[in-house]
Amino acid sequence: MKKLKYGLLGTAAALAVAMTLPVLSHAEPGKHGYGGHIFAMADKDKSGDVTKDEFRAAAEARFAAMDKNGDGFVSKDEMQAARAEMRSKYEERRGDPAERFARMDANGDGKVTLDEMKRAAEARMAEKGRDGGLSDRQAERIEAHFKRADANGDGAVTLEEMQAARKMHGGKDDAAHGGKSEDRHGDRFARLDTDGDGKISKAEFLAGADRMFERLDRNGDGKIERGEGRKGD
């Protein structure tokens, strides 16, 4: 039986895509974010990996949750509503932005430096029992996030800059992306709607989940190791 092991950010985020198809939640730099939460939900036996049966069961549960009218199909409107609901739950789990910012702002000067952001990420990992510091890839992701947020290039990020960066990066401001965010989700719906009838059946949805599971097994060894699901690995 194939097994799926999640790594930091990459595989967890890919799992979020697979479970929601195409609801996409963004993991926060330096932590697992909602992708990790979805993994924990799918890992029913808490073994630290997700079997193909568990993966399919989670996809089936997600399909049932999206099929609000119980007609056995998921419409584009139902898919979009599920995406909005999932993002809302993700934001609730993340808590108040000002409180998160204050935890990173170690010296209380109203700004967060790159070092403070990295230390905060390491602290979050330690709280979850993941000691050992940041990997090179995690550090690179945090540095990229910091660079996006530091709008004026002064080497520090304010709360306002951080909120603006998350809004842009999360695709909440479609105008800033030329409307491409909505186009991407439309494309994902079309890929799942293989018969082109404007709705997704359970069979189509599960077939999409199966394809994602196989895609995550990048080296073809029947399991996904830490970080294997990341693009470019």
- List of residues 6+ apart from 188 with CB closer than 8 A: 21, 22
Round to whole Å and give the CA distance between 126 and 33: 15
Round to whole Å and give the CA distance between 194 and 210: 14
Q: Which two tokens stand for residue 219?
A: 């080296």
Q: Which residue carries 């070092």 as its tokens?
A: 115
pLDDT in tens, 193-219: 999 999 999 999 999 988 887 887 676
Question: Domain residue spans in the chain?
Answer: 3-94+179-224, 97-169
Q: Which of 20, 37, 168 is nearest to 81 (CA)?
A: 20
Q: Could you tell me which CATH class the domain 97-169 is placed in?
A: mainly alpha
Q: Which two tokens stand for residue 65?
A: 């949750």
Round to whole Å and give the CA distance between 125 and 134: 9
Q: Structurally, what CATH architecture does the domain formed by 3-94+179-224 represent?
A: Orthogonal Bundle (1.10)
Is 97-169 the same fold as 3-94+179-224? yes
pLDDT in tens, 112-163: 999 999 999 898 888 877 777 788 888 898 999 899 999 999 999 999 998 8
